[in-house]
Amino acid sequence: MMRRTTLLTGCTALALALGATACDGDPVSAGGGDKALSGQTVTVAGVWSGSEQKNFQKVLDAFTAKTGARTRFVSTGDNVSTVVGSKIEGGNAPDVVMVPQVGVLQQFAKKGWLQPLSATTGKSVDAGYAPVWKKYGSVDGTLYGLYFKAAHKSTVWYSPDALAQAGVEPPKTYDEMLKAGHTVSDSGLAAFAVAGQDGWTLTDWFENIYLSQAGPEKYDALAAHRLKWTDASVVRSLGTLGKLFKDKQLVAGGRKGALNTDFPGSVEKVFGPKPQAGLVYEGDFVAGVAHDQFQRSIGEDADFFPFPAVGGGKAPVVSGGDAAVVLKDGKNAKAGMKLLEYLATPEAAAVWAKAGGFLSPNRKLDLSSYGDDVTRATAKSLVGAGDSVRFDMSDQAPAAFGGTKGAGEWKLLQDFLRDPSDPAGTAAKLEAAATKAYQD
Final residue of a domain: which of 341, 356, 384? Answer: 384
- If phi > 0 it is left, if psi is from -120 to 50 it is alpha, else beta; for residue 215 that is left
Q: Based on the domain organization, do 23 and 106 belong to the same domain?
A: yes
Give the model's pLDDT for residue 301: 94
Domain presence at residue 184: yes
Q: Based on the domain organization, do 336 and 348 belong to the same domain?
A: yes
- Count of domains forming the chain: 2
8 Å CB contact between 266 and 195: yes
Q: What are phi and psi of 97, to 5 degrees?
A: -125, 135
Q: Based on the domain organization, do 332 and 307 belong to the same domain?
A: no
CATH number of the domain residue 309 falls in: 3.40.190.10
Look up the domain containing 419 and give its range: 161-317+404-439
Domain presence at residue 298: yes
Q: Based on the domain organization, do 184 and 174 belong to the same domain?
A: yes
How far apart are alpha carbons 48 and 74 in whole angstroms? 9
pLDDT in tens, 98-142: 998 898 899 999 999 999 999 999 999 999 999 999 999 999 999
Domain presence at residue 90: yes
End-to-end CA distance of the chain: 23
CA 339 from centre of chain? 22
8 Å CB contact between 279 and 157: yes
CA 166 from centre of chain? 31
Q: Based on the domain organization, do 256 and 282 belong to the same domain?
A: yes
Q: Based on the domain organization, do 231 and 110 belong to the same domain?
A: no
Q: Based on the domain organization, do 304 and 423 belong to the same domain?
A: yes
Collect the ranges in the chain with pLDDT lower than 70: 1-34
Q: Based on the domain organization, do 182 and 285 belong to the same domain?
A: yes
Domain presence at residue 156: no
Provide the whole-model pTM: 0.85
Q: Based on the domain organization, do 140 and 195 belong to the same domain?
A: no
Q: Based on the domain organization, do 256 and 170 belong to the same domain?
A: yes
Name the nearest CA neighbour of 22 among 95, 73, 97.
73
Domain presence at residue 390: no
Q: What are phi and psi of 194, to 5 degrees?
A: -110, 125
Beta bridge pairs of residue 76: none
Q: What are phi and psi of 306, to 5 degrees?
A: -65, 145
Q: Based on the domain organization, do 305 and 326 belong to the same domain?
A: no
| Tally of CA atoms within 13 A in the half-sphere of 314 that contains its CB | 11
Instruction: Count CB neighbours of 164 within 10 A.
Output: 11
Beta bridge pairs of residue 74: 45
Q: Based on the domain organization, do 236 and 255 belong to the same domain?
A: yes
Q: What are phi and psi of 21, to 5 degrees?
A: -135, 155
How far apart are alpha carbons 134 and 119 in whole angstroms? 13
Domain presence at residue 223: yes
Domain presence at residue 295: yes
Alpha helices in 295-407 (DSSP H): 333-343, 346-355, 373-384, 393-396, 399-402
Domain presence at residue 310: yes
